[in-house]
Structure 1
Amino acid sequence: MNKSEIQEQYRWDLSDLFTSDDEWEEAFKAVRENAEAFKGFKGRILESPERLYEAIKEHEKVSRMITNVLTYARLRKDENTKNATYQSMTARAEKLATEISEMGSFFTPEILSAAYETIKEMSLYPPLKMYEQFFEDLFRSKKHTLSEEMESVLAQVGELGDVPSNTYGMLLNADMTFEDAVDAKGDPHKLTNGSYIQLMMSADRTLRQDAFGKYYKVYEGHINTIATLLQSEVNKNIFFSKVRKHPSAREAALFQNNIPTSVPDQLIEAVNANLETFYKYMKLRKKVLGLDELHLYDIYRPIVTNVDFDIPYEEAKTMVTESLGLLGENYQKTIREAFEQRWIDVYETEGKRSGAYSWGTYDSKPYILLNHKDNIDSMFTLTHELGHSMHSYLTRENQPYVYGNYSIFLAEVASTTNEALLNDYLLKNIHDEDKKKYILNHYLEQFRGTIFRQTMFAEFERDIHDHVEKGGALTAEFLCDHYLNLNKKYFGPDVVIDDAIKYEWARIPHMYYNFYVYQYATGFSAAIALSNAILKEGEPAVKCYTEFLSSGSKDYPIDILRKAGADMETEAPVNNALALFTSAVEELEALL
Structure 2
Amino acid sequence: MSKETKTRDQIDKKYKWNIEAMYNDESNWERDYKSVEEKAEKFMEFSGRLGEGASILLDALQQKDNIWLILERVYVYARMKKDEDNRISKYQAMADRAQSLIAKTASFMSFFTPELLEIPEEKLKGFIEEEDGLKIYKFVIDEVLREKIHILSKSEENLIAQFSEVTSATNNIFSMINNADIKFGSIIDEDGDKVEVTHGKYIGFMESHDRRVRKEAFEHVYAAYEKQKNTLAATYNYNTKSDVIMSRIRKYNSSIELALSGDNIPISVYDNLVDTVNSRLDLLHRYVEVRRKMLNLDEVHMYDMYTPLVEMPKENIPYEKALDMIREGLTPMGEDYLSRMNKGLQEGWIDVYENEGKTSGAYSFGSYDSMPYILLNYTGKLKDVFTIIHEMGHSMHSNYTRTTQPFVYGGHSIFTAEVASTVNESLLMKHLIEKSTDPNEKKYLLNLYIEEFRTTLFRQTMFAEFERLTHEAVEKGEVLTSEWLCSEYGKLNKKYFGDKVVYDNEIEMEWARIPHFYNAFYVYKYATGYSAASAISEKILNEGEKAKDNYIKFLKSGDSDYPINLLQIAGVDMSSPEPIKKAMDTFEKLIIDIEKLV
Q: If the TM-score is normalised by the length of the shorter chain, which range does it land in?
A: over 0.9
Aligned to 1:72: 77
Give SS of 1:354's match: coil
Aligned to 1:51: 56
* Residue of structure 1 aligned with 2:31, choices 26, 29, 32: 26
Partner Cα separation in structure 2 for residue 197 and residue 219 of structure 1: 16
Q: Is the 8 A contact 1:182 1:206 kept in 2?
A: no
Aligned to 2:567: 561
Partner Cα separation in structure 1 for residue 447 and residue 317 of structure 2: 17
Tell me by how many angstroms 1:4 deviates.
Answer: 1.1
1:501 aligns with 2:507: yes
Tell me by how many angstroms 1:538 deviates.
Answer: 0.4
Aligned to 1:432: 438
Partner Cα separation in structure 2 for residue 517 and residue 185 of structure 1: 36
Partner Cα separation in structure 2 for residue 435 and residue 144 of structure 1: 54
The amino acid across from 2:14 in the alignment is Q
1:92 aligns with 2:105: no
Give the structure-2-normalised TM-score: 0.98
Give SS of 2:20's match: coil
Partner Cα separation in structure 2 for residue 518 and residue 266 of structure 1: 11
1:372 aligns with 2:361: no
1:131 aligns with 2:137: yes
1:168 aligns with 2:181: no
1:192 aligns with 2:198: yes
Aligned to 1:464: 470
Q: Is the 8 A contact 2:288 2:497 kept in 1?
A: yes
**Percent identity for Structure 1 against Structure 2:** 44
Give SS of 2:149's match: helix
Partner Cα separation in structure 1 for residue 192 and residue 41 of structure 2: 63
* Residue of structure 2 aligned with 1:301, choices 303, 307, 332: 307
Q: Is the 8 A contact 2:350 2:374 kept in 1?
A: yes
Aligned to 2:290: 284
* Residue of structure 2 aligned with 1:515, choices 505, 521, 527: 521
1:101 aligns with 2:99: no
* Residue of structure 2 aligned with 1:218, choices 197, 219, 224: 224
Partner Cα separation in structure 2 for residue 14 and residue 47 of structure 1: 43
Tell me by how many angstroms 1:392 deviates.
Answer: 0.8
Partner Cα separation in structure 2 for residue 590 and residue 212 of structure 1: 31
Give 5+ residue unaligned stretches, structure 2. 1-5
1:60 aligns with 2:73: no
Q: How does 1:153-552 map to 2 (within 5 A)?
A: 153-183=159-189, 187-552=193-558
* Residue of structure 2 aligned with 1:112, choices 112, 117, 125: 117
Q: Is the 8 A contact 1:458 1:517 kept in 2?
A: yes
Q: Is the 8 A contact 2:553 2:569 kept in 1?
A: no
Partner Cα separation in structure 2 for residue 341 and residue 551 of structure 1: 24
Tell me by how many angstroms 1:591 deviates.
Answer: 3.1
Q: Is the 8 A contact 1:357 1:369 kept in 2?
A: yes
Give SS of 2:41's match: helix
The amino acid across from 1:70 in the alignment is Y
Give the structure-1-normalised TM-score: 0.99
Aligned to 1:579: 585
Give SS of 2:199's match: coil
1:4 aligns with 2:12: no
Aligned to 2:3: none
Partner Cα separation in structure 2 for residue 436 and residue 308 of structure 1: 16
Q: Is the 8 A contact 1:270 1:575 kept in 2?
A: yes
What RMSD in Å do the two structures reach over aligned CA positions?
A: 1.1
Give 5+ residue unaligned stretches, structure 1. none
Q: Is the 8 A contact 1:183 1:210 kept in 2?
A: no
The amino acid across from 1:216 in the alignment is Y
Judging changes above 3 Å, is the alpha-carbon distance between structure 1 residues 145 and 581 closer, same or farther for their aligned structure 2 residues?
A: same
Partner Cα separation in structure 2 for residue 185 and residue 17 of structure 1: 42
Partner Cα separation in structure 1 for residue 257 and residue 341 of structure 2: 37
Partner Cα separation in structure 2 for residue 322 and residue 290 of structure 1: 35
The amino acid across from 2:508 in the alignment is K
Give SS of 1:565's match: coil
Give SS of 2:364's match: strand
What do residues 285-340 of structure 1 show as CA deviations (whole Å, max 9, x unaligned)? 11000000111111110001144443211111001012111111010011111211
Judging changes above 3 Å, is the alpha-carbon distance between structure 1 residues 187 and 554 closer, same or farther for their aligned structure 2 residues?
A: same
Judging changes above 3 Å, is the alpha-carbon distance between structure 1 residues 48 and 374 closer, same or farther for their aligned structure 2 residues?
A: same
Query: Number of residues paired by the alignment?
Result: 592
Tell me by how many angstroms 1:16 deviates.
Answer: 3.1
Q: Is the 8 A contact 1:182 1:211 kept in 2?
A: no
Tell me by how many angstroms 1:215 deviates.
Answer: 0.8
Partner Cα separation in structure 2 for residue 400 and residue 489 of structure 1: 46
Tell me by how many angstroms 1:185 deviates.
Answer: 7.1
What do residues 204-238 of structure 1 show as CA deviations (whole Å, max 9, x unaligned)? 11111111111100000000000000001001001
Give SS of 2:374's match: strand
Partner Cα separation in structure 2 for residue 307 and residue 493 of structure 1: 32
The amino acid across from 2:96 in the alignment is A
Partner Cα separation in structure 2 for residue 183 and residue 71 of structure 1: 37
Give SS of 1:189's match: strand
Partner Cα separation in structure 2 for residue 23 and residue 432 of structure 1: 55
Give SS of 2:500's match: coil
